[in-house]
Structure 1
Amino acid sequence: MASGEQPCRLVVCRGCCCGTRKKRPGVDHKGQLARLGALRDHEDRAVPVRVSTCLGICFRANVVVVQPSARGRAAGGRPVWLGDFTEDRLIGELDDWIFAGGPGLAALPPALRPHLTGKDAKKPKKDGKRKAKKSKKNGKRKAEETRSRATEKPEKGKKRKKGKKGKRAGKTAA
């Protein structure tokens, strides 16, 4: 096969999180991989599948990267990262998209749009309520520490310092 005839390719994560029952229970991971390996493009070429041990965005497991075909790359197509790729219906959508040309040659199906991600995706922060409680608790603890330091008397002949910058807070004891 000449490089100009290269079809779309898939990189499928199957590391510590992707492809495991522990992280994604209820998904037939082996069956999903087999179905992805059976995909063919509009020229009846097999779509090569490479299995990666980790693509680094484990919070979006299962991750699939669709590499454009040579024609798709020439048309401006770039790799498309899909996360939370756990439903069987998504394989059908992916199959239809690759059959239509994939990245650079065909528009991404609406059903795959919510699954768009990237190699630099940031893990979403946890609920702000937890942090607010923690911050409030830390603030209370810091206030208590400040009050207890304010009531301490400095040792004879030494100056007390306040804050990280070393500003003097009190006078020297006599």
Structure 2
Amino acid sequence: MSSWTAIGAARTRPCTLVVCRGCCCGNKAKYPGYDHAWQLERLQAAAASSGGRVAVRVTDCLGPCDQANVMVVQPSGEGRRRGGRAMWVGWSMGDDATHEILHWAEAGGPGIAPAPAALELQFIETPGERTRRRTRR
């Protein structure tokens, strides 16, 4: 693959929702009051009907298990060019959180559209961010 192809692919990359479904996230035993399968189906259906503006990836454990369910909203190629960075969202269960995440992603996500105020309350700091902050003294 040429470097031009890779750059071209990054340019058109959609806003991507990375959905944790590891040890705690999506675990009915840990969170029995939530329909985890419904949430994933809703996210995937929205991505399928977005005309390629939103993608969904499912991954194993992302790490911050005490803040499950965790999702990462990755910026689109255009969002990244505008300075958008991946935003980690904790406690992303239920209708309201799912709706806010989808609404933001469909509007363009990080770098394109502002995050919904209610969703900002669920943003979590990643281990890498804590390390960078500690070493900046």
Q: TM-score, normalised by structure 2?
A: 0.80
Is 2:56 the partner of 1:44? no
1:45 partner letter: G
Unaligned runs of 5+ in 2: 1-7, 131-137
Query: What residue number does 1:76 align with?
Result: 83
Q: Which runs of 4+ in 1 moved over 6 A?
A: none
Q: TM-score, normalised by structure 1?
A: 0.64
Matches within 5 A, 1:62-141: 62-120=69-127
Distance 1:40 1:13 in 2: 16
Tell me the C-alpha RMSD between the 2 structures. 2.3
Q: Which of 21, 25, 30 pairs up with 2:28? A: 21
| The structure with more radius of gyration | 1
Query: What residue number does 1:158 align with?
Result: none
1:18 partner letter: C
Q: Aligned-pair distance for 1:44? A: 2.5
Q: Which has the higher helix share?
A: 2
Percent identity over paired residues? 48
2:85 partner letter: R
Higher RCO by CA contacts (8 Å cutoff, separation 6 or greater): 2
Query: What residue number does 1:165 align with?
Result: none
Unaligned runs of 5+ in 1: 123-174
Contact 2:47 2:56 in 1 (8 A): no
Kindly provide the CA deviation profile for residues 20-79 of structure 1, in whole angstroms up to 9, marking residues without a partner as x.
1121121000110111112249x7225222211101100000000010000000000000
Does the residue aligned with 1:11 lie in a helix, a strand or coil? Answer: strand
